[in-house]
Each structure stands twice: as C-alpha cells, then as structure tokens.
Chain A
Amino acid sequence: MASKLLASTLRQTLTKATAYSVTRQFSTAAAVSVAAAAPAPDSYEDPNGIIMKGVKIAGRPLYLDMQATTPVDPRVLDAMLPFFLSRYGNPHSRTHLFGWESDLAVENARSQISDLIGASPKEIIFTSGATESNNISIKGVMHFYKDKKRHVITTQTEHKCVLDSCRHLQQEGFEITYLPVGSDGIVDLKELRAAIRPDTGLISIMAVNNEIGVIQPMEEIGEICKEFKIPFHTDAAQALGKIPVDVEKWNVSLMSLSGHKIYGPKGVGALYLRRRPRIRVEPLINGGGQERGLRSGTLPTPLIVGFGSACEIAKKEMDYDHKRIMALQDRLLNGIREKIDGVVINGSVERRYAGNLNLSFAYVEGESLLMGLKEVAVSSGSACTSASLEPSYVLRALGVDEDMAHTSIRFGIGRFSTEAEIDRAVELTVKQVVKLREMSPLYEMFFFLLSLLTEKEGVNVWPGFPCLVTPEAYDWENNNFHLFDRVEADAASAFIALWLEKYNLSSQSQYEDVQQLKWNGDKQMVASVRNEVCKRLLIFALSEEAYLFHRRRIAESSHK
C-alpha cells in the first residue's frame, strides 16, 4: 500500500510532460530525496527547445529512421527490468537460484527466437549483435574449411561488416566474388550460378537490404545452394519479424539476427547455425566455452530476455504491423508524389519491404535537403552521413547517378509511426524540396523549356523528364528555337526507352498511367503519354550557355 502511495506521489511530482498531472508541494522525505536525486539535466535540452550542432529545434524530432534502430517496445522493457533489478545472476552459475533463474530466462528466450524463424532452440547462439554474427559466419566458416574451400560469393550491396570481413579474408588469401545487382537491387540468379566454383565455401546474401529495402529471392537462392551443396549465409537483421522468415524454406545454414531492429535492446544478437546438416565454424572469441564453445563470455541476461520478448511480440504482431506499415508507406509516397515530381524510388518497387522507402529527388542538392529536414529524423545515402565524400556504395551498385544518389533520403516506418507523423514528414519534405528547387538553376532551365514547349500546339511532353535539346535546334541570331515537329521514330523511341528505364517506368501500364501532374499546386500540366507520341515528340538539347544567352536577351529586350 505504501509503495502504491509512493508511486503515485512520484508520478505526480516528477511528471512534467503530461498536462493532466498537478504538481503539489510535498513534505515527505521520500519525495524530496527523490527529487534531489533526479538525473542531471543534459546541457542541450531546455524547456525552450534543443540546441545541438548549431541547429535549434523546438522539440524532439519525429523518428522515421527505423532501419538504423528502433525504439524499445514498452513490453520488452517490462520483461527486461526484473533482470536489472533483482534477478541479476550469471546464467552460467550452476550452484544457486540466481544462476538457475537467469539460465531459465535465457533458455526461454532462445526458444522464443527459434520459434520466430522456424528453427530449434539448440541451433541459436547469442552474440553481441548482427555484426558479430556476420563476422563469425564468414570468417569462422572459411577458417574452418580453409583446406578445401577458398572462395566466397557475396553481393555488392551487403552490409559493411560482411564486405569488410570478406576483405579481411582476401588479405588472408581467399578469393571473393562480389556479385553485381540489377538496377532494382535484386541479384541475378544466372550470374550467381555462373560464379559458383568447386571450391566455393560460402554464399552470403542479405535478405532485406538496410538501405533500399529490397527483398532478395531467398527461396530460389536456397535452391541453388542446396543443389551445389554450398552453405548459405544470410544477414536477416532487417528481415526478422518483418517478413516471414523460415530457415527450412530458405534452406539457410547460417543466419544473423539483430535485437535492436525489432524493437528490442541494442547490444544483443543471435546466430542461427544449422544442425542437420551440421555447419561447423571456428570460434572468434575464445574463453570458458559458453554457447557450445562457439562464443564464450557471460551472456547478458537482460538483453537476451528483451530480445526473446521482442521476437515473441513480433510473431504475434507481424500481420497487423505489416498491413499498417504498407498503408503508411502508400500514404507517404502518394503524399509526396502529389505535390512534387521528379521523385524516384531507389530499388525494386515490387520486391521490397514496406517500411523502407528510399527516395531520390531530382534537381535538389542532398546536403541542403537534409539541413532543412531537422525536425524529421531520417537517414540518407549521401556523403554527409558517411565519413567520406562518396555517396552510398549501395546506390552506386544500383547504377544511380551521383547527383541522384546525393539527394536520396531513406524513410523508415515502423510499429510506432503514426499517420500524423507521416503527414508532417510529407509536408516538411515537400516544403524543403520546393524551396530548394526554386533556387536551383537547373530546375529553372527545365521549367522554362517545359513552359516553352507547352505553348506550341501538337506537342506532347513528359513532365518530370529533363529534355535534351540539341544545339542545332537553337537559332542563335534570332533567338528562336527551331521546333522540329517530326522526329525520326527510331531515335525517339530509343531515347524514350532510355528515360523509361532510368526512371523505373519500364512496364507499359505505368507508362500509360502518367496522365496528369500537378505542379507546385499552381500550374496544372496535363500530359498524356501514348504510343504514337513517339512519332510526334520533340527532342531538343540546350546547353547551359545557350540558355543563359537567351535569358539575357529576353531581359535586355524587356528593359528597352
């Protein structure tokens, strides 16, 4: 009873954020001592807002970066707390209750995780995260089989830890094949088959990419690996709990799992190791022989309990979350596309996980776009989020142009995202993109060309595509465009095919669906795309000097 009273007074004294609590003066020693012992205030936060790294924002940003990490689910925290407070034993202590209860909790968590992936609890070992699991898989497997197997196959879009482990193996003398991916991010199965050699010891392909969200054809790759009897490793950190994962259907021998991507705590992960047929690895961390000798070290019971609880919740909530997140992704995409054009989705549109939306905005500079989006916590594939000046290697592997790669933004939607947050993110993104495009000379040139074209009759234009203007079309002396109203059908269709491919509109139905475009809410440009338009399309190219020359002449003539 006393504890309930204390809890309610605690809540009333310390809660500042809810408008429903009323702060009262208390004379009880407990309340005073607790208030005095409140955590030291961080220097960057004050009731007026946050100032950090030269940026001032009024409140905590809305979080749309679920691929980087996810907030801990309250139910997971509830499961973890007793193991920080009273059940703090070492699970490997075999002589007393503390050890026994911790061990019970760890084994329970093991079965919760194995349930989610369709494995047996004996096949799971706990690590410090997916990075460590990837290291154990790649280095451990190849070191174990180093006499017979000297080759590893992986893709160019893997996570950094996989690529770095492979590079480490290369330095030791192994050979690695980095498979290229298509422009949709999916690995080509024929190329995979062609790359397999008799001494291939491991194939490592991640299930869901963290940057672009594409889902690889896991079952087909598993079939190939089964046929050639090669161990199949996958990094399922982003896939766990989001898409159905089944180690039997996928035929994986090793799978890396991460806790903090499914609303669990950071610092814990797991590695699935198949027992039939048994895959052997050489341990990376030696010690007391915990986790079957493969990963020594005291198990972090609270984190593991949290991980297990997160898996159990994910299993129950997967359908509900997936439906919601798909609806939110549509809302985000349509909201942005309604207001601005020149938005390209990086990666396959069909085979993707709904919670990961990687968009590139044409004619916008990436760094300035991010600087204006400080109220939205998003990530990008541009240089400012990486240490070097290069854009993301994943986008480069997809064949995305450098300028488009620099303006890419990755929106991560999760279980706790709300419609209001999505609407706000759409509003802020559109506002910032429009503002930047107004300042962009390239965009101005494109817009000018487009307005010029639409004044001519019989012209069909695709809005959103930069027009190529040939210098021959420009009459320097009279400041006129010679408009060719008939173009060679072959040249036109070749050009169109190129642009369709570039903007991922390769299917005929999408091509015909581009019917209407609203432009900044002010202008309305209706462009209908038909098959015959190829024969009547204007194609012309303008160099920047010609454009500026023309503008100057217009300005001079208007001053007269």
Chain B
Amino acid sequence: MASPARTELLGLYRSLLRTAREFCDYNVREYVKRRTSDGFRQNRNLTDPDLIASVYREGKNQLAVAKRQALVYSIYAPKVKSIMELDAAITTNTTN
C-alpha cells in the first residue's frame, strides 16, 4: 500500500480537529484536540513508509469513530453546559 501523501496526512489532521469542534462535551472536545496534536507531533519524524501507512490507517479509523461519537454525544447533549464553558461569573447560592 502506497504511503499517504503529505496533503492526505494534513487533511486527516484537519478533519480530526474539525470533528473535535463538533463535540458538545467540553472534556471530550479538549481531549480529541489535544490527543491529535500530540499524536501527530509524536509521529512527525517517522520515515518507514509501511509504518506511516499503518499509522495513517489507524488515524482514519479514529476519525470515523470520532465522527460517529460526535453525533451520538450531540443527540444526548445535556441542557446545561459545563461550568468551564460558561465565562460569566459563577453564582453559588445555597437556598435553605
């Protein structure tokens, strides 16, 4: 199997980051973003074409998983967002 071209690799990277943005859960979204950039950074010096091809294939599988799960998470999104996403001041009133 031919080694993927540079454009394909960059395309995969961008697709993964785009899919990350679609997650409505703050923690998962940050994780996907961080894991893709760290993963690509870790593998940036690979030279063996077979290894690059297999890593690329795995990346594509992960992209498919991410796309499916972004949809599932959005269907069951909670009504209230995480506190980390609200940038207004937090109010904590204890009503007794």
Residues of A at the B interface (CB closer than 8 Å) are 7, 10-11, 14-18, 20, 39, 41-42, 45-47, 49-51, 54-63, 71, 74-75, 77-78, 81, 320, 371-372, 374-375, 415-418, 420-421, 424
| CB-based contact B76/A74 at 8 Å | no
Residue B5 is within 8 A (CB to CB) of chain A in the complex: no
Chain B residue at minimal CB-CB distance from A42: B79
| CB-based contact A54/B81 at 8 Å | no
A56 to B81, CA, bound (A): 14
| CB-based contact A54/B95 at 8 Å | yes
Q: Which of B27, B81, B91 contacts A17 (CB 8 A)?
A: B81
Residue B92 is within 8 A (CB to CB) of chain A in the complex: yes
CB neighbours of A41 from chain B (8 A): 79
Task: Give 3 closest A-B pairs by Cβ, nearest first.
Answer: A17-B24, A74-B69, A416-B27
| CB-based contact B65/A78 at 8 Å | yes
Q: Which of A59, A74, A416, A418 contacts B80 (CB 8 A)?
A: A59
Chain A residue at minimal CB-CB distance from B58: A316
Residue B60 is within 8 A (CB to CB) of chain A in the complex: no
Residue B30 is within 8 A (CB to CB) of chain A in the complex: yes
| CB-based contact B83/A59 at 8 Å | yes
CB neighbours of A371 from chain B (8 A): 94
Q: Which of B27, B75, B76 contacts A63 (CB 8 A)?
A: B27
Cβ of B54 to closest chain A Cβ, rounded Å: 14
| CB-based contact A60/B82 at 8 Å | yes
CB neighbours of B10 from chain A (8 A): none
A303 to B31, CA, bound (A): 23
Known: A39-B76, A424-B83. 12 other contacts (CB 8 A): A11-B75, A14-B77, A16-B77, A17-B24, A18-B74, A20-B22, A45-B79, A59-B85, A78-B68, A375-B92, A421-B84, A424-B84
| CB-based contact B27/A59 at 8 Å | no
CB neighbours of A372 from chain B (8 A): 92
Give the total of B residues in contact with A, Cβ under 8 Å: 38
Residue B12 is within 8 A (CB to CB) of chain A in the complex: no
Residue B72 is within 8 A (CB to CB) of chain A in the complex: yes
CB neighbours of A20 from chain B (8 A): 21-22
A-B contact pairs, 24 of them (CB 8 A): A10-B71, A11-B71, A17-B24, A18-B21, A18-B24, A39-B76, A54-B94, A55-B92, A55-B95, A56-B94, A56-B95, A59-B82, A60-B83, A61-B82, A61-B83, A62-B82, A71-B27, A75-B65, A77-B72, A78-B65, A374-B92, A375-B83, A420-B84, A424-B84
Most buried by A among B24, B74, B76, B77: B74
| CB-based contact A17/B77 at 8 Å | yes
